[in-house]
Structure 1
Amino acid sequence: MERISLSNSAFEGDNNAYLFSDGSETVLIDTGDWMATTREQLEAALADRRLGFDDVDRIFLTHWHHDHCGLAGEIQAESGAEVYVHADDAALVEGDEDAWDEMYDRQKRYFAEWGMPEPKQKVLLEHMADGETTVETPTVTAFEDGDTFSFDETELEVVHTSGHAAGLSMFEADLDGGRAVFSGDALLPVYTPNVGGADVRVDQPLAKYLRALQGIVDADYDRAWPGHRDPIDDPADRARHIIDHHEERSWRVLDALDRKGPCDTWTVSDDLFGDLEGIHILHGPGESYAHLEHLERAGTVIREDTEYRLADGVSDELAATDGERWDLEY
């Protein structure tokens, strides 16, 4: 297995595509985005190994975000490669218009529900439109959690890790004498993947993501090969760190409500993240919503229409902790 680093102008850092080419089949996990520079980089990396797009037999996608699946259709058009993705993301990857219309409609409903100011909505929609392009979309084969795929001497097992995206999935494999996982965006070495805004189709996004992280802790993999940047040598430790990060963020949400009183999601987002630009106009309130929804289900926060407030007694408990956190049942 070889890691191919592909440029990405976004904050997450360079994308990774993973190449298996030592046996009779040529297999990729993720493809990078659809930009011409990315295609050139992937073609050059394959050419260095005396391969081309037409040699690829199978592609496994971690999820629908364009920086992970953008070239899948072009590669399939040249090679006839079979493209696999989780069933929850299959329609988006195939470019199904109804699925995309439903996504856009739900986003716009959330913009209003979160209290996103109209000028910010306009900036965000323009940013999203600028990122749209006509791209070759693949025909996909859908998989589910627990499915296994074998090629040459490698077996991949699907681990569904919804949260950041509805169909986000990792692939477990035995590599170099240890148990490894191709973690996509479920586990990243620097950034924490956005929950709530990155895929508004996901119900209870934070709860689902926390369960996925706990699964990584319990699996105790020897190494994670993430969707961005360098490999992670202690995946369980990184997963625990992200769990702690989200607990700390929930405390910050409670503190914001304690100081500001009843307010909407956008107000909480502004307190957490300040002024937002570009795609972060979506990600900031989305993340805030994920935490507010999680705390509401825990009974710590009460929602009234589009506003949230602390449940009775929570403000007193916050004051009594004197800066010490109590168990938020993470």
Structure 2
Amino acid sequence: MECLALSNRTFEGNNNAYLFADGPDTVLVDTGDRLPGTHDQLEQQLASHGVAIEDIDRVFLSHWHGDHRGLAGPIQEESGADVFVHKADADLVRGETAAWDELTDLQMRYFDQWGMPEEKKETVTDVLDSYAWRDNPPEVTAIEDGDTFSINEYTIRVVHAPGHTAGLCLFELDDGSDNSDVLSSDALLPKYTPNVGGADVRVDDPLAQYIDTLQSIVTAEYDRAWPGHRDRIADPTERANVIIDHHEERSYRVLDALRRLGPCDTWTVSDDLFGELEHIHILHGPGESYAHLEHLEQQGCIVSEQTEYRLTDETAKRLATRDDERWPLCHD
């Protein structure tokens, strides 16, 4: 397996595509985005391993985001490759108009519910439109949790890992050795904490689903993780626990904002947590805040009235006792 680093000017650092070409099959996991120059980078990196785009037999996509599936359509057009993605993300990758219209309508409803200012709505809508890349979509085959595929010396197993998106998948690698490696995509990143809430507004209680994903990574005790961005993760269990800790700290900060500010909407909480937001972070900031607010409401820690949230009396009392500035999540 070879890791191909492809430029990414917007998100969490270079995109990683993973090439399997040591055998009769030529397989790519994720493709990078469709910004100018990425296709040329991919061609050059494939050539350095003796492979051309037209040689690719199969493409596995970790999820529907444009920086991971961007070149899937052009690759399929050039090579005839089969393209696989989880069934929850398949209609978006296929470019189905109904799926994209539903996503856009849901985003706009959330923007209103969150209290996003009009000028910020316009800005983030333009950003989202510029990275949709809905033209020339691939035909796809839907996959599910537990599906297995043979790729040369590897068997890969699909592990559904929702939270960041509804259909995000890990790919466990089995090469017959004692190593336990996983392609973790955006479920586990080495530097940033993957966005939940804004990254895919279709996900119900995204924080709870993402914590479940992280805990499954802890339970799996992988030796190494190969993420969707940046460098290999040497201790996936430790990294997953760090991100769980991060979300407990953020839950505390969300509750503390409600304690200090009184009842307020999602945008106000986001502003308290993140300050002024630009570009794609106009989506990610309130989305992350909403994920925490929704989860805390599910736990009974806060209540909502219209678009505003407030602490319960019991939560206010408990919050005053939290010297560690963390709020335990229900999945610990």
Give the corresponding residue for 1:258. Answer: 259
Q: State whether structure 2 residue 129 is matched by structure 1 residue 146.
A: no
In structure 2, the residue matched to 1:165 is 165
Residue of structure 1 equivalent to 2:81: 81
Cα distance change of structure 1 residues 161 and 293 upon mapping to structure 2, 3 Å threshold: same
Closer, same or farther in 2 for the Cα pair 1:266/1:218, shift >3 Å?
Answer: same
Letter in 2 for 1:227: G
Where does residue 15 of structure 1 map in the other structure? 15
Q: 1:272 to 1:57 in 2, by over 3 A?
A: same
The 5-angstrom pairing of residues 183-222 of structure 1 reads 183-222=184-223
In the alignment, what sits opposite 2:244? 243
Residue aligning to 1:59: 59
* Counterpart mapping for 1:1-330 below 5 A: 1-133=1-133, 135-175=135-175, 177-322=178-323, 325=326, 327-329=328-330, 330=332
Give yes or no for contact 1:34–1:135 (8 Å, CA) kept in 2. Answer: no
Cα offset, 1:18, TM superposition:
0.5
SS of the equivalent of 1:272 reads: helix
Shift of 1:126: 2.3
Matches of 2:329 and 2:215, distance apart in 1: 15
**What amino acid is aligned across from residue 23 of structure 2 in structure 1?**
G
Alpha-carbon displacement from aligned partner over 1:257-299 (angstroms, at most 9, x marks no partner): 0001111000100000001011111110000000000000111
Question: Match of 1:223, as an amino acid?
Answer: R
Cα offsets for 1:121-157 (capped at 9, x unmatched): 1221222233344642110000001111112221110
**Is the contact between residue 145 and residue 160 of structure 1 (CA under 8 Å) also seen in structure 2?**
yes
The residue type paired with residue 24 of structure 1 is: P
Consecutive unaligned residues of structure 2, counting only runs of 5 or more, are: none
What value does the CA root-mean-square deviation take over the aligned residues? 1.3
**Alpha-carbon shift at residue 323 of structure 1 (Å):** 5.0
Asked if the contact 1:32–1:68 (Cα under 8 Å) also holds between the matched residues in 2, the reply is yes
Q: Contact 2:95–2:135 at 8 Å: present in 1 too?
A: no
Looking at structure 2, the residues matched to 246 and 6 of structure 1 have their Cα atoms a distance apart, in angstroms, of 29
**How many angstroms does 1:312 deviate by?**
1.9
Q: Secondary structure at the match of 1:3?
A: strand
Residues 1:29 and 1:322: Cα distance change in structure 2 (over 3 Å): closer
1:49 and 1:13 map into 2 onto residues whose CA distance is 23
User: Equivalent pairs: percent with the same residue?
Assistant: 62
Q: How many residues align?
A: 330
Q: CA deviation at 1:326?
A: 5.7
Classify 1:52/1:322 alpha carbon distance in 2 versus 1 (closer, same or farther; 3 Å).
closer
Three-state SS of the structure 2 residue aligned to 1:208 is helix
Paired AA for residue 103 in structure 2: M
- Measured in 2, the distance between the counterparts of 1:68 and 1:219 equals 24
Q: Deviations over 1:50-85 (max 9, x none)?
A: 221110001110000011011111111111111000
